[in-house]
Amino acid sequence: MRESVLINDVGPRDGLQNQTRILSVEQRIELISGLVNAGVRSVEAGAFVSPKAVPAMANTDQVLAGISDVSGLDRQVLIPNRKGYELARSAGADTVVLVICASETMNQRNVRMSIEASIAQAGEICQLARADGVRVVGCIAVAWQCPFEGGTDPGKVLDLAGQLFALGVDDVNVADTIGAANPLAVGKLIRALASEYGAARLACHFHDTRALAMANIFAALEAGVRKFDSAVGGIGGCPFAPGATGNAASEDVVMLLEQMGFDTGIDLSALMGVGKMVGSMLATATGGRADAWRRIQLEKGAPLI
Ligand code: COA
Ligand code: ZN
């Protein structure tokens, strides 16, 4: 049996939050349905954040309602605070992703509170979530570099992860929000986190700003991580982190993993179809770095893996 790697497609959240075109609820549901049909079992379906701060994520409750009957799907949503948790729970999210930035400046700009205040809310949210049967992922943003404060001290990330696990989060997602990490730094930080808290409870999130997302995924994989965020079509970016471009494209990540013998459960040609669809909805998706090669293979009827 091949070893599985879980891909959480964050296209419907990270991918859409910073686009000039705002997709309708129906288009967002169509995107998620396409991902599910391609075999994706975990999606970041949206965010319960202020619609004034991120207009593209308004009406995430309606998106969740539109996918409520999909079985076997982990419906994740990003939340910045306790109000976000309450909205997410009422809307039927399976997993909440609570974002905390590893730098004070970024945390203030992103969620308008101190790291200490975010951690206090994380404690309340974990308690509620345990009673409600909701999974909690603590996402540590700008884990390698902050656009305002520069390089992040790995000790700070280790400490934040420890606090989050102690509060009861199920997983910690380590995020390179602006795509500034490199494979050596990724390996070093992830090995340290894995030896302290276990690789099974870690996930990683990489942006491809400097064309290193795939190399960084490989470094995290070698350090034991088996859960990755990526976005169909390579869409993505953060409105509060200047310079951040798209996420690692799910198409490229699936290809990397399947070529190395891992099982993602995702049908690559079906996923390419979803990438094309989101590309025409937004006019910004690239389809991933190997898109041109994959299209030629498909035209020839040749294998993609
Ligand atoms: N979802 C929706 N609305 C929320 C909310 C949430 N999670 N949290 C607070 N609000 C509302 C409040 O009810 C209030 O509404 P009102 O103006 O109608 O009274 C308004 O937002 C302001 O509340 P306040 O607590 O003062 O928040 P703020 O203005 O300091 O903003 C956040 C804090 C977290 C809500 C806002 O900065 C935000 O949504 N950030 C999103 C970050 C994000 O998505 N980043 C990208 C992904 S990492
Ligand atoms: Zn991101």
**What 3 state SS string does 143-202 have?**
CCEECCCEECCHHHHHHHHHHHHHHCCCEEEEEECCCCCCHHHHHHHHHHHHHHHCHHHE
**pLDDT tens digits, 239-296:** 888 878 899 999 999 999 999 999 999 999 999 999 999 999 998 888 999 999 999 9
Model pLDDT, residue 284:
86
- The answer to whether residue 183 sits within a structural domain is yes
Distances (CA, A) of 4 to 34, 38, 87, 262, 263: 21, 16, 32, 6, 5
- The answer to whether residue 133 sits within a structural domain is yes
Q: Is 217 helix (H, G, I), strand (E, B) or coil?
A: helix
Query: Looking at residues 231-236, what average pLDDT do you find?
Result: 96
Model pLDDT, residue 59:
98
Phi, psi of 14 (to 5 degrees): -55, -40
In the chain the first and final C-alpha atoms are separated, in Å, by 18
- Please report which confidence band the pLDDT of residue 169 belongs to, taking 50, 70 and 90 as the band edges: very high
**pLDDT tens digits, 19-75:** 999 999 999 999 999 999 999 999 999 999 999 999 999 999 999 999 999 999 999
Model pLDDT, residue 137:
99
Residue 227 is part of which domain span? 6-300
Give the span between the Cα atoms of 164 and 252, in whole angstroms.
Answer: 31
Which atom of ligand 1 is least distant from the CA of 239? Answer: 46
Model pLDDT, residue 285:
82
Model pLDDT, residue 80:
98
Which atom of ligand 1 is least distant from the CA of 84? Answer: 7
Model pLDDT, residue 286:
85
Tell the residue nearest (CA) to atom 12 of ligand 1. 50
Model pLDDT, residue 233:
96
DSSP 41-75: -EEEEEE-S-TTT-GGGTTHHHHHHHTTT-TT-EE
Percent of the chain with pLDDT over 70: 100
**pLDDT tens digits, 117-126:** 999 999 999 9
The CB density around residue 43, as the number of other CB atoms within 10 Å, is 26
By the CB criterion, residues less than 5 angstroms from ion ligand 2 are 14
User: CATH number for the domain including 233?
Assistant: 3.20.20.70
User: Of the ligands numbered here, which is closest to the C-alpha atom of 10?
Assistant: 2
Tell the residue nearest (CA) to atom 35 of ligand 1. 50
Active site residue 238: yes
Model pLDDT, residue 244:
81
- Which strand (E) or helix (H) includes residue 8? strand 6-9
Ligand 1 pocket test target in 14, 44, 50, 142 with most atoms within 8 Å of CB: 50
Model pLDDT, residue 240:
85
54 pocket-lining for ligand 1 (C-beta < 6 Å): yes
Which atom of ligand 1 is least distant from the CA of 81? Answer: 7
Question: What integer best gives the mean pLDDT of the chain?
Answer: 97
Query: Looking at residues 145-159, what average pLDDT do you find?
Result: 98
Give the span between the Cα atoms of 162 and 159, in whole angstroms.
Answer: 5
- The answer to whether residue 305 sits within a structural domain is no
53 C-alpha vs ligand 1 centroid, how far in Å? 7
240 pocket-lining for ligand 1 (C-beta < 6 Å): yes
9 C-alpha vs ligand 1 centroid, how far in Å? 24
- The answer to whether residue 1 sits within a structural domain is no
**pLDDT tens digits, 186-198:** 999 999 999 999 9
Query: How much is the CA Rg of the chain, to the nearest whole Å?
Result: 18
Model pLDDT, residue 245:
87
Model pLDDT, residue 164:
98
By the 8 A CB rule, do 174 and 157 touch? yes
Q: Domain count of the chain?
A: 1
Give the span between the Cα atoms of 89 and 61, in whole angstroms.
Answer: 10
| Closest residue by Cα to residue 154 from 189, 194, 191 | 189
- The answer to whether residue 277 sits within a structural domain is yes
Question: Between vectors from CA 181 to CA 207 and to CA 275, what angle results, nearest 5°?
Answer: 15
- The answer to whether residue 216 sits within a structural domain is yes
- The answer to whether residue 118 sits within a structural domain is yes
Give the span between the Cα atoms of 155 and 181, in whole angstroms.
Answer: 16
- The answer to whether residue 96 sits within a structural domain is yes
